[in-house]
Copies of this chain bind each other. A is one copy, B any other.
Amino acid sequence: MKLLEDKIRKDGVVKDGGVLKVDGFLNHQMDIELFDEMGKEWKRLFADVPVNKILTIEASGIGMACIAAQHFHVPVVFAKKAQSLNIDGEVYTAKVESFTHGRVYDVIVSKKFLGPEDHVLIIDDFLANGKALEGLIQIVESAGATLEGVGIAIEKGFQPGGELIRSKGVRVESLAVVESMDAENGVRFRG
């Protein structure tokens, strides 16, 4: 998606250690008009599947998932990253290893909000090692729901997550796929 790639080129910052900082428009400050165009594009890409629910994970997936949901006319459920006193009843859980934060955490979704009748589109901001996404997919499977696909804003094509998830037969549509990047030359996109 050219608009997103242009935005990453203009306002993204490549840091040491394979970090692409997009906190000016994607995951700290959020450009809502950009999110709306991303939502339109995901709707175009997934126009052929019957999505009735969008699943994302706190915190940085929530904004773009909610704006995208306006194009699908469906509710959003966000997975929580730790046991909260305010989630009662039974929950689906998955363990996720975070490279960014260097720890393992639990991902939790209440059983009230995901079940066999659901056709789920997962939306998230980044796909790198695919660990968070694996956790979300595991939760969709635990619920007996149908996973219709995954919409990602930025995929780091040089990390294994994209291939890992697609090799399971999951349809992944990433709006920008970074082929390579370094602090000196910036970002190069696939395709």
Contacts and interface: CB of A to CB of B under 8 A. Distances in A.
Interface in A96-110: 100-102, 109-110
Contacts of A74: 32
Interface in A56-71: 58-59, 62-63, 65-67, 69-70
Contact of A59 (B29, B78, B113): B78
Interface string A73-113: 11111101000111110000000000011100000011011
Contacts of A21: 86, 88
A84 to B, nearest CB: 7
A28 B28 CA distance: 20
A19 interface: yes
11 contacts: A21-B86, A23-B112, A25-B75, A28-B80, A28-B113, A31-B75, A32-B69, A32-B75, A36-B70, A63-B78, A84-B101
A30 interface: yes
A115 to B, nearest CB: 12
**Closest A-B pairs by Cβ, 7 of them:** A58-B59, A63-B66, A62-B62, A29-B113, A32-B69, A59-B59, A30-B76
A24 interface: yes
A135 B33 CA distance: 28
A15 interface: yes
A42 interface: no
A67 B74 CA distance: 14
A28 B78 CA distance: 6
Interface string A108-125: 011011000000000000
